Structure formats: C-alpha cells, structure tokens
Structure 1
Amino acid sequence: GILLKEVDRLLRPNGYFVYSAPPAYRKDKDFPVVWEKLVYLTTALCWKLIAQQVQTAIWIKEANQSCQLEHAKEKTLNLCTSKDDTSPSWQAPIKDCVNLSPRAEDINKLPPGPERLLLYSRSLETTGLHFFHV
C-alpha cells in the first residue's frame, strides 16, 4: 500500500492511474485477493474507478478533501502532517501517509502550450524554490 500512497503523492488532482495485470495473473489463485486489496486502497485514497476491462483498470484522483477527511476519521487513511506538505518531492523517503488534496476550487488549470513553461507553481513557492527568466 505504501507504493500506491507514493503514486498518490506524485499524481496531480484529476490525474489518471492505470493498472494492468499481465495475462498470466488470470490463472493466479491470489489475483482476486490482490485485486480486492487494490480496490480497498484506491477507495481509501478517494480515487474513482472510471473504467475496467479484463485485468486493466483506470482510476481518476479527484480533489475530494471531504472524502479524505472522512476516511481519516474512519482510520482507513493516514493523513500526513502539514509540515510534510512543504517537503521536496525528490530524494525524500517514502511515507505511509497521504497529503490532503487541494480543494477543487483551488486547483490551477494549466494553460495550454508554451505558456505552461512560464507558470510558477504554488508548491514551489512553499518549498522556498525560486526561478527566474534568463
């Protein structure tokens, strides 16, 4: 489950996670148990299953703070402390917790094309990283 929580940390709200099991798993007696655990974890992470066919499934990570807070209250999801939110994404140890998603109305829509390269991320501001144009 900790690796799926790491995927959650790296995945932007409204991003997609695709899981595809090799065909050999179809005959594996443990596959239903693995699938059940995967569904349990993605539900706890508040991801929405949007497509499933044979052994491939697609989830979307929705910005749903109320779902995350509810699952944290039920102890099915461990939320990271607020100080973890400002840690850099690179060279950081994997943690067995999930950062609270931003509220849907706080999510920046990325501009199209080359303008996106000039957009300064709010998450970079909170880590103290600054960039400049050359």
Structure 2
Amino acid sequence: MTNWRAVIIGFLVATVLGLFGLVIPGVGQLAAGLLGGFVAGYMAGGGLGRGFWHGLLAGALGGIIGGLLIALLVALSGWAFGPLGGAISGATGFGILLIAVLISLVMALESAIAGAVGGVLNPDRPDYSRRDPY
C-alpha cells in the first residue's frame, strides 16, 4: 500500500530544494531529486522495493502535475478555433500528457534509487493495522 504522506513530503522536499537549486544548475536539481526520493523512501520504510516505489512516485509527481497542467492548457486553448480546433488540440493535449508522464518517470529514476537506499536504512514498516488513539 502506498504511503501518500511520504510521497507528498518527498515531492515537497524535492520541489523546495529544486527552487533553491536553480542557483547551481544541474547539480542543484540532481541533489534535490536525490534528497526528495530519499526522504520518501525513508519515511515509507519497509526495505528496498517499498523505498524504490515511494521514491519513484515522489520524483515523478512534479512531472506528472506539470504535464497535466500543460495538456489542459493546450486542450482548452483549442476551443477558440471551434469544434474542429477543440478536437485537434484535445488530442494534442492528451499526447503531451502521455509524453510528460513517460519523461517524468524516466527522470524520476534517480529519486527511486535514493528512495531504495532510504527504504533500506529504515527497514521497519509502520503497522497501519493498529491505530494508537493517542
């Protein structure tokens, strides 16, 4: 089961550090992706595979959200050209979304590897079946 809290926190860490990483192009983005994936994997715990999965999701989330926004913008802008323009831009927007998802998954591999390291360093998977009322 995916720990979405770990994924979102890892995504936020990568995003905030990525903004500061603009000062050092390339190195800053790489470090931000690695650290965000590590945080997601460590928070999720549970070993190599679970850390890999959560790091991958945290790293890919930004690309997927960005691709979705660009695809919606392209699809909606086509309505200015009538029904045919709407159909063409809708198909184009869908293509842009698919390409953005594929690219973001490939680029998220660094976060996934760092997440796997984080998952190995925190092998204790939290037990969600028992809730502490306090």
| Structure with bigger gyration radius | 2
The normalised TM-score by structure 1 is 0.29
The normalised TM-score by structure 2 is 0.29
Bigger fraction of residues in helix: 2
Bigger fraction of residues in strand: 1
Choose between structure 1 and 2 for higher RCO, CA contacts under 8 A separated by at least 6 residues. Answer: 2
